[in-house]
Structure 1
Amino acid sequence: MSVVEQRSLTGGCQCGAVRYRVTGKVDYPHLCHCRMCQKASGNFFLPLIGAEKKDFEWTRGEPTWFHSSKPVRRAFCSTCGTPLAFDTVGDTVISFTHGSLDDVGAITPVEQSGVEGRVPFYDKLFALTETWSNRDDLPGGISDVASTNCQHPDHDTTHWPEEHP
């Protein structure tokens, strides 16, 4: 396992109702391919990063928790549905979702776990054609999305939500 030294990391859900801060060290940034993590994230895998619970705090709002098994509960925003954390009850470590970080590129995954559940086409994903998002399918295109975006910015704010068009 790899321990990464960090002073402070912040993150939160898409709508901004729930925010968190991590201070100190983070550990074991990884991609989990198990079926439970696939279902919990609605994706092919769930990127997670560990931190000591004493170094992790919810700074705005509180998540809703779902017990996905007897020893494990998962946190998410009850307003927008963003998956936020994975907690083994009684452990000193909490894992938070990599994609909920304000600076997603600050931490690099070091391992893939639960590979028995990895989708069979995973190794072909990076060979797919790549395109930039233009949203030509919408009447106003990407500019309409940008001008009406209700997503929380990738930094802490003193007040949220802001007024939206």
Structure 2
Amino acid sequence: MSEARWSGGCLCGSCRYEFSGDPLHAGYCHCNMCKRATGGAFAILVQPPLAAFKWTKGKARSFSSSPIAIRAFCPDCGTPLFLQYDDDELIRVTVGSLDHPNQVVPRTHYGVESRLDWAEIGSDLPPEETRERF
């Protein structure tokens, strides 16, 4: 059985990537740095092996977001794409940048000391569909 192939990219399409791996660990990150980097209440990240990750179009721009990690984003549209800790064999890719994010199921919470009190993933909230399609 072959490993699953994953692909994704930024909003404008100038950065595209792919990687292989199965099963993949995914989780919510509530740390303040992920909140700032994504502009959301938390990040959802999937962790493929760094060796399995490659750019298929363009390349993200990266910066040192802390003394122990870099973050990368599209230099054209700003989409957050990944987080990589120094000397780590994994890369943490933003689930929202995947072509098929519905195939990822978060299984852990990280950075819970910074979790917002109201950051519940509740199915009891009223739904509303978007008018835009991607």
Q: Do the two structures share a fold, i.e. TM-score over 0.5?
A: yes
- Secondary structure of 2:75's match? coil
- Secondary structure of 1:31's match? strand
TM-score by length of 1: 0.74
Q: Which amino acid aligns with 2:89?
A: T
1:81-160 alignment, distance < 5 Å: 81-123=78-120, 126-133=123-130, 142=131
Q: Which amino acid aligns with 2:28?
A: L
Larger % of helix: which? Answer: 1
Give distance in 2, aligned partners of 1:24 and 1:52. 7
CA apart distance, 1:67: 0.9
Q: Which amino acid aligns with 1:73?
A: I
Q: Which residue of 2 aligns with 1:66?
A: 63
Unaligned 5+ segments in structure 1 are: 134-141, 152-165
- Secondary structure of 1:99's match? helix
CA apart distance, 1:91: 1.2
Quick check: 1:13 aligned with 2:10? Answer: yes
Deviations 1:82-102 (A, max 9, x none): 000000122111111111000
Choose 1 or 2 for highest CA Rg.
1
Give distance in 2, aligned partners of 1:123 and 1:105. 18
TM-score by length of 2: 0.90
Q: Which amino acid aligns with 1:75?
A: A
Unaligned 5+ segments in structure 2 are: none
Q: Is the 8 A contact 1:72 1:86 kept in 2?
A: yes
Report percent identity of matched pairs: 35
Q: Give the number of equivalent residue pairs.
A: 133
Q: Which amino acid aligns with 2:31?
A: C
